[in-house]
Chains A and B, each alone.
Chain A
Amino acid sequence: MNAPNALGVRGTRTVTPVSYRARRWARTQLFSSPANTALTVVAVTLLAFVLYTMLKFVFVDADWTIININRRLIFLGRFPQSEEWRVWPPMWLAMGLGGLSYGLLSRGSLRDLVWLAAAVVFILGFLAHGMNGLLFGGAVMFSIAGYGAGRMAGNRPQLRPRLGTVAIVGWLLIIPFTVILISAFGGVKPALWGGLLLNVLLAVIGIGVGLPLGILLALSRASSLPVLKGVSTAIIEVTRGGPLIAWLFIARFVLPAFIPDALQTDVIVNAMIIVSLFTAAYVAEIVRGGLQSIDKGQVEAAHALGMGAFHVTFFIVLPQAIRAVIPALVSQMIALWKDTTLFAVLGFTDALGGAQAAYSQSEFIGRQKEALLFIALLFWSVSFGMSRLSQRVEKALGLGER
């Protein structure tokens, strides 16, 4: 950058380099030709108009009562009020583990803190009042405690691996724990699970089961055993051959006709199987791409050192392969998260269904903008969070820096 020289030549010393640079950038990027200028003016005007009307709607015109009144419907759907307590312990566990993992993996940054504080203020100020506010406050306490424990371990090397095990085991157990707590001991029938809870459950199960299953499918497709290879290829290709919504319809209306009564499963079990298989098929192909990127020489070298097939696969090939495909895997997870709204065709009232039911209530007819914007915000914030998290993981693994 030789801007000072240019300034000296033109003799406009009063202009600071930064604003000069900004001007030059604008001149070359936005106003380089009449057509470009026209495009800039049109685009900026349109953008300003959309932004203005949207902000005006959000802060002035909108009546957010519909969300306030229908919080339960959006977050829990038809989940019975008397059984609501079953939802909180998994939430506390998740928040505590989240804090612990964050404390272990990161030193914490001001930017993260601002985002998290904004989320907590939003939830406490807008969504969780009274008893729910207290319960949510408890969840925040759990996550702060978890974070504290994770940071403390940073100074005590002997504590770190132990807490790491706690975090991993905790995350692995959270699905069965949640499902058992919600449904067992006179709990809530799966047909009544709903709202955002259902979206989260399906997404977590899809990821938790689909990811390992997909890796296994990828390994068997890459294997030299014809039976293993054939079966996994068939599973992957058949599953990927149909859109998710078609599989949902098939599971609801077609498959039950071919399965004996004794083996009939509940709709939610069907949903879990589908979401896991569907994710697994896509994960398998992503991971297979990663496997192919690993040089054969590494495998040969590992064999030469006397490592068995198990070790070569799980300690040499797979870690590198998965590292290489993290961005694609995260895209798949984000897609899955948004696809969970499709499960409404099985008769569930998920978050989107709850919002739709809310703007059908006679006092809220015509308030669909508020309801849908809120749902959009919910889904966007989780997707965005996943994307940020994956960037953090990539950085921690030193990806793209070598």
Chain B
Amino acid sequence: MLGHLSIPGVYMRFSRLWLLMLALFAISMIAVACNGDDDDGAVASGETLKTVLDRGTIKVGVKDSQPGFGNLEPDGTFAGQDIEFARALAAALFGNKNQVEFVVASAANRFELLSSEEIDVLIRTTTWTSSRDIDLKSSFTATTFYDGQGIIVNANSPIQSLSDLEGSTICVTSGTTTEVNLATRLGAAGVNHTALSFAGDAEIIEAFIAGRCDAWTADKGNLAGQRTSFPADAGGSAALRILPDTLSKEPLGPVVRDGDTEWYDLVQWVVFGTMAADELGVNSQNVTAMAANPPSKDIADLLGASFQGAPVSEFGASLGLSPTFMQDVLFQVGNYDEIYQRTIAQIGLARAGSINASWLDGGLIYAPPIR
């Protein structure tokens, strides 16, 4: 074919250019490939910890759009309770809370991401239910937040409890379990009401401000967030009141794949560790002092310190972690209460007196003993 070329110079220049292009493209692809993770592939059960340690980061599926739990800040970083627990896991594994890769998981694809091993743990306001636990081959490690469906009304509304909702119109997000729960609970109580469905929170708020409904229902964690950010020209957060009734149980917490009990234990006990530290009064401020001179055997065992010359507890070692992993977690991230105050308290959900208080204060947050 070359013999037919009447203008070989042009052709040569062309071909050299193409070669250069191809080479550069190959280089860029290789650069990308080297940068990415090569160990995304299948891992036999029981090896999640090894994979994570080899990779040097833990991959966590999170939400990017729920203030207090998981949302993206203007600078492109994540914030929220779910995010803090992901960082706590990284601190426990690597002694560095920043060795975590966040993967944005949607409500629809989160279990896919988990089962296809794209993520090591799912911490995305995921409710612990029997079908998810059993059918979706996932295991719920611990509950980090007890949510539940609530109802919000105007602060000056006469509605005080569920029975006052007789004859009222209630706004609800269409196609959610909240819609079903509302019908079931109010139906069982014999309360006649009209449910008005909307596509999302924003539409509901508009309808509520326009007076189209007397109340609106959603998970309490969500309602509290909406209340804090209620438009100032509509009266701000003072214009709204959340009813004390809870219509459903929504325990939220980290989820792992079935079949890797070692990994399950690790995730579970890092979460319990933050709760135990809260119960024992160990926090990010005093952890260094307490590790140097533990005031009790419980604290010494939690922090992997020696108590009055006794040998260090097996807690960290039995999880495949450093004996002092909880020191890193507490120093870098903090205990359960510190995490809560930094995240969920900021959206207006006080911890004191709620079901998310420590069991010592009458709440449900309870860590099994470490010994």
Contact = CB atoms under 8 A, between A and B. Distances in A.
A78 B76 contact: yes
Interface string A329-373: 000000000000000010111000110111111111110100000
B225 A190 contact: no
A264 B42 CA distance: 10
B122 to A, nearest CB: 13
Nearest to A71: B74
Contacts of A268: 32, 36
Given A363-B229, A365-B229, A309 B33 contact: no
Interface string B25-69: 101110111011111111000000000000000000000111110
A275 B94 CA distance: 37
A72 B202 contact: no
A7 interface: no
B201 to A, nearest CB: 7
A341 B320 CA distance: 42
Interface stretch (A35-43, A178-186, A230-238, A284-292): A178-186
Contact of A266 (B3, B32, B74, B229): B32
Given A172-B21, A173-B24, A264-B40, A256 B76 contact: no
B215 interface: no
B73 A361 contact: yes
Given A180-B31, A268-B32, A366-B202, A79 B347 contact: no
A247 B148 CA distance: 37
A268 B31 CA distance: 12
Contacts, number: 162
A59 interface: no
Given A269-B33, A366-B202, A176 B65 contact: no
Contacts of B104: 347-349, 353
A264 B112 contact: no
B138 interface: no
B1 interface: yes
Given A172-B17, A180-B31, A360 B76 contact: no
B231 A366 contact: yes
B1 A310 contact: yes
A354 B32 contact: no
A108 interface: no
A72 B31 contact: no
A366 B35 contact: no
B46 to A, nearest CB: 18
Contact of B74 (A70, A269, A349): A70
A189 B76 contact: no
B73 A176 contact: no
A401 interface: no
Interface in A250-266: 252-253, 256-257, 260-261, 264-266
B67 A361 contact: yes
A261 B38 CA distance: 8
Given A77-B76, A266-B37, 8 more contacts: A180-B31, A265-B36, A266-B35, A269-B33, A269-B36, A357-B64, A362-B228, A366-B231
- Across the A-B interface, give the 9 residue pairs with the lowest CB-CB distance, nearest first: A266-B36, A308-B4, A261-B41, A360-B65, A357-B72, A362-B67, A176-B24, A179-B28, A176-B28
Interface of A: 69-73, 76-81, 169, 172-173, 175-177, 179-180, 183-184, 187, 189-191, 194, 252-253, 256-257, 260-261, 264-269, 306-311, 345, 347-349, 353-354, 356-366, 368
